């Protein structure tokens, strides 16, 4: 029976990786040989299949492989002595702590009422908000009960030195040439930067009011701080994504330590959960999707704080720590004020509370309703002033959600035209198909990345298939329900119910849970092979997984770097050229009536030029040439402007043409430098 389980497990791995090979539309020329034609004619026929037929076969293989893995893999220990039943200890009376927590809630309620009735944001409101949060945290600490015994055998957090090594590698992937790569600066990145520049320049001091895209202004302060400390608005703007990327990896590791915590003697060859926690952090950090959005502001920030919020929730419920639950509420409140994808974490947290009620009533009995109340109160205290602003202007709150919702009549009509179907049902089904398969097949529909490959790379993606198969066939574990509900919530709220699916910025909250599921799949495969009699696999598997991580990480980095160093647009090239000009030179743009040209009104150009710090620019209209240009002008031309270049040199002689090329050697723009 053990040998059969071993064979089934190997078959599952072969099936999912073969499926990914077909999904990637790789050539099958190795099957088109005379020997195959004569001896294995069915393989010859298969090599002639159309792409759609191969993809359909790949889907069957993926499903079969996932189910085989779920059947063959040993389940996670259903009872973990060190974590599932923490000792019941008497908790302190709320007393002074409860009164302080109530005082914090009252402070938040006062702010809610104030901002519902007033548009101004005086300084005292910010001080009161910070004071209310501090009082609330202090109250939760004073009302705290004792946690589980400190002599627990499971301590996966002790693997922090290895985690720091992983964090350093991810930091390199996110930070190297941060201001230079990607070359293209997206329009939304420019808009975010312009809003942050206003804050850095002292032109905007609010934090509760709506900023660009009706996102609260607090979301732009990290980028503003980056600009202030770095002295570079492009680098500072991208530092917001850099810090969010590192925080995301920290959150994945901490959450992995909680979800995978186990007593070392529960299984043969098992540790205390540190290995899958470390693998989850590594799997998350080496993907090209993570690296790309970790070099842009706003998109990973809600993922980072949301992941930390779920970690605090899991730890607070498991240990009975009321301050940790209050922290979880505060973190999830912060997440709700950031980019719109962050709101899914509130739904995930509520689902987790439901799973706790079903599977861990012992934990909740120790906490009582006070634990849930402290969690909800933390979210309220943080969100109170923002709720007041939203209640005063509800249209601003709903506008963005309505724009991307599939239930918006305009959006539904658009998607019916894209899919060639009629009715909400077929559109939802196609959205579901594209969202689910974007992990392995479909590329990004957004302009922020536009990657043509799947969300996960071809080496790590099949592990997610195995992990999903395991979870679906092991739903008698709390761990399985938590991970499945997280992934399902992101798929539904970030993909199925939205337009232009798959739009990867809305699906980024799936990256941490994908890393956790992949790590769980590897851990279950290793445990199954060890228990099936392959004792040597315990050590050998470590080398295999490390090799897989190195291969996937290096391949992803090279593929992403090669693409992003040559992919740009006229606005980015012109803006970067303006940004690099010395202070004494005047930038000049050409206007020919072609809207594909870079103009001063473009968000990207405005941001790269410096926003409120920008020097005065000049525009030449080809139907009304100025007699003279300012001294030391730099006229920026596109590569196909040969005719304009000749006329420009004839009207304003004495200048010199400078050619700029991208990394591939292709010309991207000309600069006509006048003395």
pLDDT tens figures, 91-136 = 455 689 999 999 999 999 999 999 999 999 999 999 999 999 999 9
Question: The tokens of 163 are what?
Answer: 């985690």
Total-model pTM: 0.95
What per-residue confidence (pLDDT) applies to 93?
Answer: 53
Q: In percent, how much of the chain has pLDDT > 90?
A: 80
pLDDT range class, residue 82, cuts 50, 70, 90: very low
Q: What is the pLDDT of residues 629-651, one digit of tens each?
A: 999 999 999 988 888 899 999 99
In the sheet where 618-621 sits, what is the strand order? 618-621, 586-591, 633-637, 667-673, 656-661
**So what's the pLDDT on residue 539?**
76
pLDDT exceeds 80 at position 536 = no
Q: Measuring CA to CA, which residue among 476, 461, 481, 463 is closest to residue 525? A: 463
pLDDT bin (cut points 50, 70, 90) of residue 83 is: very low
Question: Model confidence over 604-622: pLDDT tens digits?
Answer: 999 999 998 887 889 999 9
- The residue among 585, 655, 572 whose CA lies nearest residue 617 is 585
Q: Peptide bond preceding 182: is omega within 30 degrees of 0, i.e. cis?
A: yes
pLDDT interval class at 475 (50, 70, 90): very high
Highest mean pLDDT pick, 77-91, 360-374, 533-547, 570-584: 570-584
391, HSE (Cβ side, Cα atoms, 13 Å): 15
Look over the chain and give the mean of its residue pLDDT values, rounded to a whole number: 92
For residue 77, pLDDT over 50 is answered with yes
pLDDT in tens, 232-291: 999 999 999 999 999 999 999 999 999 999 988 767 777 899 999 999 999 999 999 999
Confidence of residue 395 (pLDDT cuts 50, 70, 90): confident
Instruction: Detail the DSSP E strand segments found in 161-212.
Output: none
Considering only residues 93 and 490, tell me which one the structure prediction assigns the higher pLDDT.
490
Average pLDDT over residues 456-481: 97
Residue 88 pLDDT: 47
Q: Phi/psi at 272 (nearest 5 deg)?
A: -90, 15
* Residue in 490, 138, 508, 158 with CA at minimum distance from that of residue 327: 138
Tokens representing 147 are 């946690």
User: Residue 149: what pLDDT?
Assistant: 45
Which position has the higher pLDDT, 323 or 82?
A: 323
Taking the domains of the chain in order of start, what are their residue ranges? 2-72, 158-564, 570-673
Residues of the chain above pLDDT 70, percent? 96
- 151 vs 26, residue with greater confidence: 26
Distance CA 256, CA 522 (A): 14
- Those residues with Cβ within 8 angstroms of residue 588's Cβ, 6 or more apart along the chain or in another chain: 617, 618, 619, 620, 629, 633, 634, 635, 636
Contact call for residues 464 and 20 (beta carbons, < 8 A): no
Residue 86, CA distances (Å) to 80, 81, 227, 264 in order: 10, 8, 46, 17
What's residue 79's pLDDT?
56
Looking at residue 245, what is its pLDDT?
99
Q: Could you give the CA distance from residue 215 to residue 197 in angstroms, rounded to a whole number?
A: 16
**What's the whole-number mean pLDDT along residues 320-329?**
96
3-state secondary structure string, 255-302? HHHHHCCCCHHHCCCCCCCHHHHHHHHHHHHCCHHHHHHCCCCCCCHH
Torsion of the alpha carbons at 530, 535, 537 and 543, rounded to the nearest 10: 120
Flag whether pLDDT at 153 surpasses 70: no
Asked if residue 216 lies in contact with residue 386, where contact means CB atoms within 8 angstroms, the answer is: yes
In this prediction, residues 192-221 reach a mean pLDDT of: 96
What's the pLDDT tens digit per position in 328-371?
A: 999 999 999 999 999 999 999 999 999 999 999 888 888 888 89
- As a whole number of angstroms, the distance between CA 339 and CA 427 comes to 25
Encode burial over 29-38: b for 16+ CB neighbours within 10 A, e otherwise.
eeeeeeebee
CA gap 328, 377 in Å, rounded: 10
Output 589 or 87, whichever has higher pLDDT.
Answer: 589
Backbone angles phi, psi at 388, to 5 degrees: -60, -45
Q: What is the dihedral of CA 153, 156, 157, 163, to 10 degrees?
A: 160
Q: What angle do CA 501, 497, 59 make, to 5 degrees?
A: 55
- Locus of tokens 């445990």: 527
Give dist(CA 219, CA 240) in Å, integer.
Answer: 10
pLDDT for the residue numbered 335:
98
Query: Does residue 421 have a pLDDT over 90?
Result: yes
């Amino acid at each position: 029976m053990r040998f059969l389980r071993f064979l089934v497990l190997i078959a599952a791995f072969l099936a999912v990786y073969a499926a990914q090979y077909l999904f990637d539309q790789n050539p099958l020329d190795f099957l088109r040989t005379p020997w195959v034609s004569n001896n294995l004619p069915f393989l010859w026929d298969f090599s002639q299949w159309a792409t759609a037929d191969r993809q359909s076969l790949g889907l069957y293989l993926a499903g079969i492989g996932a189910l085989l893995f779920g059947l063959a893999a040993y389940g996670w220990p259903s009872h973990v002595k060190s974590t599932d039943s923490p000792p019941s200890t008497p908790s302190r009376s709320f007393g002074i702590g409860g009164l302080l927590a109530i005082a914090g809630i009252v402070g938040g309620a006062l702010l809610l009422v104030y901002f519902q009735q007033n548009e101004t944001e005086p300084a005292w409101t910010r001080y009161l908000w910070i004071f209310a949060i501090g009082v609330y945290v202090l109250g939760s600490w004073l009302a705290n009960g004792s946690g589980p015994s400190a002599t627990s055998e499971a301590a996966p957090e002790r693997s922090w030195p290895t985690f720091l090594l992983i964090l350093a590698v991810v930091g390199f992937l996110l930070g190297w040439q941060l201001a230079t790569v990607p070359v293209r600066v997206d329009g939304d990145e420019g808009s975010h930067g312009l809003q942050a520049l206003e804050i850095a320049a002292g032109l905007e001091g609010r934090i509760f009011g709506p900023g660009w895209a009706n996102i609260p202004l607090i979301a732009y302060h990290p980028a503003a701080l980056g600009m202030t400390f770095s002295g570079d608005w492009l680098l500072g703007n991208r530092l917001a994504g850099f810090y969010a990327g590192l925080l995301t990896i920290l959150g994945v590791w901490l959450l992995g330590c909680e979800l995978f915590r186990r007593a070392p003697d529960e299984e043969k060859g098992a540790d205390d959960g540190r290995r899958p926690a470390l693998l989850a952090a590594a799997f998350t950090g080496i993907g090209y999707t993570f690296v790309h959005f970790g070099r842009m502001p706003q998109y990973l920030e809600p993922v980072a704080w949301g992941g930390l919020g779920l970690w605090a929730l899991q730890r607070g419920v498991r240990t009975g720590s009321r301050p940790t639950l209050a922290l979880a509420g505060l973190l999830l409140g912060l997440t709700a004020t950031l980019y719109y994808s962050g709101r899914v974490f509130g739904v995930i947290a509520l689902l987790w509370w439901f799973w706790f009620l079903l599977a861990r009533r012992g934990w909740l009995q120790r906490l009582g309703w006070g634990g849930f109340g402290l969690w909800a109160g933390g979210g309220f205290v943080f969100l109170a002033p923002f709720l007041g602003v939203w209640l005063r202007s509800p249209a601003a709150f709903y506008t963005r959600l309505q724009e991307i919702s599939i239930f918006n009549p305009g959006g539904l009509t658009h998607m019916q035209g894209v899919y060639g179907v009629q009715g909400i049902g077929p559109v939802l089904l196609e959205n579901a198909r594209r969202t689910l398969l974007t992990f392995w097949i479909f590329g990004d529909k957004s302009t922020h990345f536009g990657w043509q490959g799947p969300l996960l790379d071809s080496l790590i993606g099949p592990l997610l298939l195995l992990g999903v198969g395991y979870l679906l066939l092991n739903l008698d574990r709390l761990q399985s329900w938590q991970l499945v509900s997280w992934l399902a919530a992101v798929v539904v709220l970030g993909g199925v119910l939205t337009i232009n699916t798959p739009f990867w910025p809305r699906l980024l909250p799936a990256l941490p849970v994908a890393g956790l599921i992949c790590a769980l799949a590897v851990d279950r495969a290793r445990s199954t092979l060890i228990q099936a009699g392959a004792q040597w696999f315990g050590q050998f598997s470590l080398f295999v997984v490390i090799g897989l991580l190195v291969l996937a990480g290096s391949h992803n980095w090279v593929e992403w770097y090669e693409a992003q160093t040559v992919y740009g647009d006229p606005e980015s090239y012109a803006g970067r050229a303006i940004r690099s000009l010395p202070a004494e030179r005047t930038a000049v743009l050409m206007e020919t009536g072609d809207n594909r040209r870079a103009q001063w009104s473009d968000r990207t150009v405005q941001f790269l030029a410096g926003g409120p710090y920008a020097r005065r620019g000049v525009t030449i209209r080809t139907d009304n040439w100025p007699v003279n240009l300012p001294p030391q002008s730099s006229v920026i031309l596109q590569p196909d402007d040969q005719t304009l270049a000749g006329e420009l040199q004839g009207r304003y002689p004495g200048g010199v043409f400078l050619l700029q090329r991208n990394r591939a050697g292709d010309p991207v723009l000309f600069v006509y430098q006048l003395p």
